[in-house]
């Protein structure tokens, strides 16, 4: 596609491309120059947090032995447990996107179906907490148990992980 730059230096990214890349109105983009190319990349503050999140969830997983998943607004950026190979780097479901948008906490202590990625359901119990940075919800922490009910301790651990990640990004 070819687009012209207006007199203020702006260029319109076509709606189809924004939809495909899940770029929403008001979201930030990173701009890179590589030789004679200008590249745009969807910006996520969670990108800077990915390595830290992986270490954190692997450490906690060693103690609780339940799946721990960390998302940004679009995909899973860190996963520990049996669901790691299946979900790491995959898109999150629209239901999880809604939880981020509403800054909602979700707790299901009985074994129920949860759509983790579009069209992909897992049966288990779970606790989900939003990651808040400077007042904005930027992702989720999910503790998901396939074979037993989530406890109040795991609910609290999910909350603590989300707070640690949010504070780590703020600093």
The superfamily CATH assigns to domain 46-170 is: GAF domain (3.30.450.40)
- Read off the pLDDT band of 149 (50, 70, 90): very high
Residue 2: band (very low, low, confident or very high) from pLDDT cuts 50, 70, 90: confident
Residue 132 CB contacts under 8 Å (≥ 6 apart), including other chains? 103, 138, 162, 166
Separation between Cα atoms, residue 45 and residue 30, nearest integer Å = 11
Instruction: Provide CATH code, domain 1-43.
Output: 2.10.260.10
Every domain range in the chain assigned CATH 3.30.450.40: 46-170
- Integer-rounded Cα Rg, in Å, for the chain is 18
Distance set, CA 27 to CA 6, 18, 69, 154 (Å): 21, 11, 23, 32
pLDDT tens sequence across 60-98: 999 999 999 999 988 999 999 999 999 999 999 999 999
């Amino acid at each position: 596609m070819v687009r012209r730059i207006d007199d203020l230096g702006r260029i319109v990214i076509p709606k189809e491309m924004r939809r495909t890349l899940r770029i929403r109105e008001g979201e930030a983009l990173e701009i890179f120059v590589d030789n004679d190319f200008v590249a745009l990349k969807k910006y996520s503050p969670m990108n800077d947090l990915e390595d830290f999140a992986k270490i954190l969830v692997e450490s906690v997983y060693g103690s609780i032995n339940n799946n721990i998943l960390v998302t940004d607004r679009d995909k899973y950026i860190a996963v520990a447990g049996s669901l790691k190979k299946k979900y790491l780097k995959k898109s999150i479901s629209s239901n999880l996107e809604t939880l981020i948008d509403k800054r909602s906490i979700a707790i299901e202590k009985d074994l129920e179906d949860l759509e983790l990625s579009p069209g992909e359901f897992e049966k288990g119990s779970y606790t989900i907490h939003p990651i808040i940075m400077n007042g904005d919800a930027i992702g989720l922490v999910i503790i998901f148990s396939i074979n037993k009910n989530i406890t109040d301790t795991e609910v609290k651990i999910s909350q603590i992980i989300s707070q640690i990640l949010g504070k780590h990004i703020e600093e």
